[in-house]
A and B are shown apart, each in its own frame.
Chain A
Amino acid sequence: MDGEADGSVEVSEDSGPGRRRRVHGMLKLYYGLNEEGKSVEQPESLDPCDINGPHFDPEFYLNKLRRECSLAELMDQETCMVKQIRSLDSDMQTLVYENYNKFISATDTIRKMKNDFKKMEDEMDCLSANMAAITDFSARISGTLQDQHTQITKLSGVHTLLRKLQFLFELPARLNKCLELQAYSQAVSTHRRARCVLLQYSHLPSFKGIQDDCHAIMDKLAQELRQKFRDGGSSSKDLSECVELLLQLNEPAEELCDKFLSHARSRLESDLQGLEAEIRPYPSASAVKDASAHRSSSSAAVGSLTDTSPKTSTLPSPTSNTDILEFIDRGCNEFVSSLCLVITSYQELFINHAQAGELASKNIPQMANSKLHAFVNDLAARYFSLVERRIQEEKGVADNSLLVRALDRFHRRLQAVAKLLPGSAVPNKGTEIVMRAATERVKQYLSALQSFYMDSLTDVRQALATPRLSVTGASVGGSGAVSVRDAPNSLPELLSSLSASILNQIKSVLASVHLFTAKDITFSNKPYFKGEFCSQGVRESLVVSFIKFVCQSSRQFCESAGDKGGSTPPALLLLLSRLCLDYETSTISYILTLTDEQFLVQHHSPVTPVTTLCAEARETAQKLLNHYVKVGFHLQCSYCGKTDISRVVEDTTSIDVQVGLLYEEGVRKAHSSDSSKRTFSVYSSSRQQARYAASYTPSAPMDTNLLSNIHKLFSERIDIFSSVEFNKVSVITGIIKISLKTFLECVRLRTFGRYGLQQIQVDCHYLQMYLWRFVSDENLVHFMLDEIVGSSAHRCLDPAPMEQSVIEVICERG
């Protein structure tokens, strides 16, 4: 209490709230509550001089003060101490006053609680007594009710059993009713429920009866279902329901599969027959008519390639009533879609369903699957054959887009089958058909191109022939010696129009064929259409074949034209030759580049290189030109005296003009200024003299003969017919050479009188005067004319040659 007093003395100096807290703290300290753990201060309080510390030693403190402080200080200390003690006392007093009431009320409360607890104890005792009584009662009640409960359970069991029995007894009737109402599925489910029970108790006569009844009914039901199934009039949904029920009735799945499929087949076959009926009209009776009609249609198609389509539309297609797109559409919509439907429902029924159910164990899915495949393959094969027949009828090349679209649709729809039936070969076969159709189409295009080419050639021939007719009257007198001069102006035009129309035709065909590889066509991304079709199909068998055909058919002109030379107008030969040459120089590479670009041909397989084709074209051009030379002037056989010689020169001139229209001039050796004046006679030619003078002069013939022969050995050999070059001079030179050679041979086969020789002399001189200007080397003409005169002198019975001056005079007069 002392410490407290001392402490409070000091504390009293503090201001209000702080002092308050301190007071609380003291109280707490007193009650042993360590407020906020103020043990931190503890070490300081060890100081015995700390007036607030617990170890305060008043004696020590007093001694210390006395020792250390002055009197004044002690006085001050004392007054301070007194002040503090006073404030502490007053504090003490207020505290006691403040808390007094609280003590009193607390004591009251405790007292009251004591009383209440006592009352509660009594009530609890009463409750437990009551509960015991209740338990007792309930035990007694349940004991009494035990018997009745078991009885009730038993009764309810009997009741359900009876209900079941009733169900069983009512089953036949119910089934019958279901049968009447055609609620087959209900009947089946009902029967299913009862089936095992009946099976279990079938040894009991009554149940046996029920079972038999049920069997009879179910058989009937099955019969009806089967009947319905067989009738096939029902929709596929009904049908599948039927099948489902039958399956549940333990019908053998295999049989069902067969039945299902056969039923589906009959329906699909009717579709197929519908399709077939569309193709049907043509084959039997009208075969001949059709053949002719087909020809007309193909020619019409060819025609329509040049002009627009109305021509074909006016011609009714003889082969079928519908176009191919319609046909394929119908095929897709009817056959393919119902095929898909059949496949789906079949798979649903026999494969997926069976896999889930108890049938899986019997290997049914596999069996069903194989059956399905066989079925689909069979029908698809028939369908394909129909489609192929129809495609084959599609001969007109007028509108390729229709075919492509039809094929696309055909192919697209087959993809559905592919999805449904993953392992099926059907889509592949479909693709094969598309491929075949495409190849076929390319072939048709080739033949169309070929016939177009032949037609244009015929046109050209007609164009060449027409003007001739108009001039026939004029040229009738002068034998048939190639009246080419009649249509000279039109030749280059004909050539350009011919080559342009061919090129256009090729382009349009390429465009048509290009449809096959268009991006939006499903089959265009097949490897075949990406690779082989482009390179082998289009490039090789279309473009290259066509070019080859052009060359070949042109070459055939060389062959056939040999017959009397008249069948092919020489102008046509010339024109074709120029055409082939143009092909060699530019057109072929242009066409092939075009093709390669359009079709992005990747050359997996070896293809014909441009150079080969060019070489072929050039060879053809050469051959044609050679043939032109051979044939072109052969009618000059009439050189042999029958024709007026001036005619020959005229003809040569006209040929010169004609060739000049198509071919460049070419190189020519320089002429001597007086070529036409060159003296020329039997005697003047030195060689001739050497060879033939012996006939007239007896002097030393042996030497001259030898000399001439040796001279001849060393002189340049004249190739009568060497290959001509592609220029005018070379061509004309070739023609003149061969004509003169022919003249020579004719002369040698004849025997002349005096005037015959002189006529030849005049003729040769005349030719001499005019022919030199056409040829590349005039010496050639001189040489050959020498030879002719020499030979004729030799073949003359009375060789009296005309004087050179006389000849000149005659020739000057014309």
Chain B
Amino acid sequence: MLCCIVCSIILSIVLCHSVLLIRTDEYITSFPYNVLVNKQKCVDVIGHVLFFTQARALTAQTAETDAIRFLVGTQSLKFDNQIHIIDFDDENNIISKNVLLHQVGEIWHIGASPADKAVLSTCYNKTSDSRVVSCAAVWRMPSDWETGSHESPDDSTHNPQTLELLCHLDDSTHGNTTCVLWEPMGDGKRVISLADNHALLWDLQESSTQATVSSTASLEGKGQLKFTSGKWSPHHNCSQLTTANDTAIRGWDLRTMSQMYCIENAHGQLVRDLDFNPNRQYYLASCGDDCKVKFWDVRNVQEPVKTLEEHSHWVWSVRYNHSHDQLVLTASSDSRLILSNMVSISSEPFGHLVDDEELSEGEDNHQDDKGKEPLKDSVVSTYEEHEDSVYAVEWSSADPWLFASLSYDGRLVINRVPRALKYGILL
């Protein structure tokens, strides 16, 4: 009984406190609820959202290209976990939040279907009798989640809607799913889950209510190998997968489920995250516990193309901007978020001078490099709004200049690319 009371109070807090912090030069103010930002002022830090519990999982709602919307999964062993849907109204600078219950366990990873706005996948830990099992599932948001919460958050506190389970991505033979990857730009019918040392390619059928393993690949080798993360390449007709385990990065051909390349010792320590350059098919970014961010050309894996050493602790996440691939975000447990402008290895090394057709050919650009003065790579800005380790960062799928980062203390910060840089890239 007591427990129930506690829960309800906590939930009310969770839903009430979408706090918008506006940093001006002199002071930081906090207001409950939605507060308009002074539109005359150029504010790059748009806002903070505080959750009560810890959170690690963040994704943009990939299928949504009109509204700026992020999904956050909370991580709590004690309470019902939730999916928070964060909407940002760019026009009015209003952040709003909706909550869906995810009762099965704490969320470690979240992925949004590229085809259906309402469909998402989570990897979660289920605890039963002090045993912890990692599972993955595909969910559908209730169709009417948007209603109500805006006007009366207090009401919805008492009645949060629950996610509708579509199917489990669990195989009795494979446990401990670490992440679920949707086929990029696909029809939302194919997902890959990484479980221990196996990569499972699932086909979702009958409106995603049935999932069958179509093929698997597994990591062979000494010791207990375990995938830590992976990324489905958007290039080559989505036929490639890149995974990280320990210090190695491996590329897989999904048609044959065989390994294509392997970057042994890509990082000095554990590789935490990967991302593909959306415009240059062979370029890949990785980050890890050696505090470095490395950029690879997978055709030549002996040496990284570039290495960034800006962070002072483990780098947990690296993300290319979806349309301007010189912009790279990295999040680290040193509580910092760094936006880098990696012009020299982007598809636009000279700004707009290069034709789009040439962009895919890496060699051409290298030759051109000598002719024109390439722009310098630089760190655009370091965001220090977070007070705890930042585990996830995502670009918005709707606005290419907007991104959100999530730290362990449950703070989501939405930022914009600095205006000067934005115009520098556009003009």
Contacts and interface: CB of A to CB of B under 8 A. Distances in A.
A232 B313 CA distance: 84
Contacts of B137: none
Given A702-B17, A706-B30, A794-B77, A751 B313 contact: no
B20 to A, nearest CB: 13
Interface in B283-317: 290-292, 312-314
Nearest to A787: B388
B313 A721 contact: yes
B335 A796 contact: no
B130 interface: yes
A691 B298 CA distance: 45
Interface stretch (A208-216, A417-425, A499-507, A707-715): A707-715
Given A562-B268, A751-B77, A794-B54, A698 B314 contact: no
Interface string A676-713: 00000000000000000011001001100110011011
Given A751-B127, A796-B77, A702 B387 contact: no
A82 interface: no
B409 interface: yes
A702 B334 contact: no
Contact of B387 (A712, A745, A748, A753): A712
A634 interface: yes
Contact of A702 (B13, B247, B292): B13
Contacts of B127: 751, 797
B334 A713 contact: no
A108 interface: no
A698 B334 contact: no
Contacts of B383: none
A695 B52 CA distance: 11
B268 A745 contact: no
A634 B313 contact: no
B384 interface: yes
Contacts of A563: 247, 265, 268
Interface string A547-577: 0000000000000011111000000000000
A751 B314 contact: no
A788 interface: no
A712 B21 CA distance: 14
Contact of B130 (A562, A794, A795, A797): A797
B105 to A, nearest CB: 11
A794 B265 CA distance: 33
A701 B8 CA distance: 12
A520 interface: no
Nearest to A734: B312
Contacts of A721: 291, 312-313, 334
A485 interface: no
Q: A interface, how many residues as a size bin?
A: 20 to 34
A651 B197 CA distance: 34
B334 A695 contact: no
B269 interface: yes
Contacts of B132: 751, 797
B27 to A, nearest CB: 11
A154 interface: no
A107 B391 CA distance: 172
A634 B314 CA distance: 12
Contacts of B290: 562, 630
Contacts of B243: none
Given A720-B334, A721-B291, A701 B9 contact: yes
A459 interface: no
Interface residues of B, number: 39
Given A564-B247, A720-B334, A722-B312, A709 B409 contact: yes
Nearest to B316: A745
Interface in A422-471: none
B5 interface: yes
Given A564-B247, A706-B30, A709-B50, A720 B312 contact: yes
Contact of B52 (A705, A741, A751): A705
A626 to B, nearest CB: 9
A701 B77 contact: no
A555 to B, nearest CB: 12
Interface centre among A709, A721, A795 (most CB of B within 10 A): A709
B28 interface: yes
A706 B14 CA distance: 12
A593 B387 CA distance: 50
A669 interface: no
A719 B387 contact: no
A797 B132 CA distance: 10
B267 interface: yes
B291 A630 contact: yes
A738 interface: yes
A664 interface: no
A717 interface: yes
A698 B333 contact: no
A748 B408 contact: yes
Interface centre among A564, A565, A720, A741 (most CB of B within 10 A): A720
A748 B407 CA distance: 13
A604 to B, nearest CB: 30
A741 B30 CA distance: 29
A748 B409 CA distance: 12
A706 B409 CA distance: 12
Interface in B90-121: none
B78 interface: yes
A76 interface: no
Nearest to A562: B268
Interface in A747-778: 748, 751, 753
Contacts of A738: 313
Contact of B13 (A630, A701, A753): A701
B384 A717 contact: yes
B389 interface: yes
Interface in B105-157: 125, 127, 130, 132
B219 interface: no
B107 to A, nearest CB: 14
Contacts of A741: 313, 333
Interface centre among B125, B267, B292, B389 (most CB of A within 10 A): B389
A738 B290 CA distance: 12
Contact of A709 (B9, B291, B387): B387
B6 interface: yes
Given A721-B313, A721-B334, A745-B389, A705 B13 contact: yes
Contacts of B292: 562
Interface string A773-814: 000000000000000000000111110000000000000000
B2 interface: yes
A610 to B, nearest CB: 27
Contacts of B247: 563-564
Interface string A723-738: 0000000000000001
B10 interface: yes
Nearest to B12: A702
A721 B384 CA distance: 14
Nearest to B127: A797
Nearest to B10: A701
Contact of B5 (A698, A705, A748, A796): A698
Interface string B376-390: 000000001001010
Contacts of B265: 563-564
Interface of B: 2, 5-6, 9-10, 13, 16-17, 28, 30, 50, 52, 54, 77-78, 125, 127, 130, 132, 247, 265, 267-269, 290-292, 312-314, 333-335, 384, 387, 389, 408-409, 411
Given A694-B52, A709-B387, A797-B130, 8 more contacts: A634-B269, A705-B13, A709-B50, A717-B335, A720-B334, A721-B312, A745-B333, A751-B125
- What 7 pairs across the A-B complex have the smallest Cβ distances? A562-B268, A721-B312, A712-B387, A720-B313, A698-B6, A702-B13, A563-B265
18 contacts: A564-B247, A698-B9, A701-B9, A701-B13, A702-B13, A709-B411, A712-B409, A713-B387, A717-B335, A717-B387, A719-B312, A720-B312, A721-B312, A741-B333, A745-B314, A745-B389, A794-B77, A797-B132
